[in-house]
A and B are shown apart, each in its own frame.
Chain A
């Protein structure tokens, strides 16, 4: 009896220590799968906004992801102004308006293609569509293209930094934090 309770105690003690060890190693394993600090620190992209042409989509790169830059024509801006949802999505640098979006479909991450004549985006993967401000016009994508964190600096746009204009977009729900 005495013996077996001693064994019981040993069993529980081993069990407890093993349990703590198991939790600790699970934590270590989880951390080993985390993105490396060097990946996370992967920096900022600065764009000179005076170089873009109207209604011509340019794809830049930020954190390995494609960034769509589409300078709006006056006609597009007029159309966007008639719809508050659309105009809020545009970034104003100097006197020009730009669509600045993550070029990854909010459905499952394909890169939608731009049709300059129709002024819309079509995602070939599952047929999702967006207008020229990146707002969604046809499902399956659940929302418009996400807008990357940006800061306006004169004629330049710094991607990766959260400026006041971007914070406003987050607050009024124009974009999710990408």
Chain B
């Protein structure tokens, strides 16, 4: 057994048993963050905090929600919203957070793309990030099933049908996923399980992996400068804090991060109290009815861009295009052939690629929302082709990029 001495304080008692000083040093006081980063680097912390909000509000919703096709709708729309004291607060926090988390994820992703933070040593940060994106998408979809309204039911129908693989006609697989011929009790129970246990567990694990992946390469910075972290840390520890290019994660950097988080939370709770309706689809306030499709089915805004890539094509081509859109971002570190880890503004053609991709995804999102007719169909079709075309172009334009 290790040697223990009589403790001089509670801190010392804990330190002998848990090594809390070492933990603090490794995680905070000697975890180095570059100085030249901007508010966009706070998005990761905002995501972590939003996930926390989802977890806490979800726990309270779980106390009254009933995963049963006969009672689910009322347990949400009547019990939680009208009977439970402050039940509406948890529901609105949960709904708003589920929507806003995707806005922040997209900002976080495009920040990474703009500054080249997925390159040379940071590939695992990117890949773990994409796994988080997939897990959050599955979490959002499974959660959307739970109120068992019209949109829950029909989104469940349409999305599970994707697994029939078009002409492959794999109805057996679809029925296996649903546990029934149509979304029914078995479907609701299993998506409930996924939403409250399995996927959140996976997300927690993936957040751990994402943070771990950051440890060795460190975060990037807004000039793409390659920092010698050991040398800069030595300067900092020697007291030359002004000339060191890094600062300690806590408390120094955290105080800056928390400033941005604070502004975000004001915006967030403004939405929760005054504009929660944007996160609640009116159609979903009708109970599920398997014999009546709503006039116009569309997913939540954050899935619209990939939905629009599916929509303008025939079934099989649409499915292939959709599958392509779902996985292609994983390949970004390998399709970008340029060794430059610098902001897109200094990367020649890539600068245009970046803005074209961002604008194209916004157009796809807008077209996914409007009915699939006339001019909108045409715009959607060309935007979908542009999306695919941009990815095909990427290796070529980055291959010939000048080294900076």
Contact = CB atoms under 8 A, between A and B. Distances in A.
Contacts of A65: 181-182, 290
B403 interface: no
Interface in A124-171: 124-127, 139-142
Interface string B287-331: 000111101110000000000000101111010000000000000
Given A127-B373, A140-B313, A142-B314, A35 B290 contact: no
A33 B293 CA distance: 26
Contact of A35 (B176, B293, B372): B176
Given A125-B158, A139-B314, A142-B315, A66 B290 contact: yes
Interface residues of B, number: 36
Interface string B279-292: 00000000000111
A140 B297 contact: no
A124 B293 contact: yes
A111 interface: yes
A126 B293 CA distance: 13
Contacts of B295: 124
A59 interface: yes
A63 B180 CA distance: 9
Interface stretch (A20-28, A81-89, A102-110): A102-110
B169 A111 contact: no
Interface size of A as a range: 20 to 34
A64 B297 contact: no
B377 to A, nearest CB: 7
A109 to B, nearest CB: 4
Given A59-B291, A66-B291, A127 B167 contact: no
B180 A35 contact: yes
Contacts of B292: 111
A95 interface: no
A174 to B, nearest CB: 15
Contacts of A125: 158, 293, 296-297
- In this complex, which of A59, A65, A107, A140 has the most chain B Cβ atoms within 10 angstroms of its Cβ? A140
A1 interface: no
B167 A142 contact: yes
Nearest to A66: B291
A41 to B, nearest CB: 12
A132 to B, nearest CB: 19
Contact of A126 (B162, B166, B311): B311
A61 interface: yes
Contacts of A107: 315
A13 to B, nearest CB: 30
B175 A35 contact: yes
Contacts of A33: 176-177, 179, 190
Contacts of B372: 126-127
A117 interface: no
Contacts of B184: 39, 64
B315 A34 contact: no
Contacts of B387: none
- In this complex, which of B166, B291, B373 has the most chain A Cβ atoms within 10 angstroms of its Cβ? B291
B180 A39 contact: yes
Contacts of A106: 315
Given A33-B179, A63-B181, A142-B167, A124 B297 contact: yes
Contact of A108 (B158, B180, B316, B373): B158
Given A111-B291, A139-B314, A36 B186 contact: yes
Given A66-B290, A142-B167, A176-B169, A39 B181 contact: yes
Nearest to B174: A109
B154 interface: yes
B179 A36 contact: yes
8 contacts: A39-B184, A61-B291, A110-B154, A110-B157, A110-B158, A124-B293, A127-B373, A127-B377
Interface of B: 154, 157-158, 161-162, 166-167, 169, 175-182, 184, 186, 190, 290-293, 295-297, 311, 313-316, 318, 371-373, 377
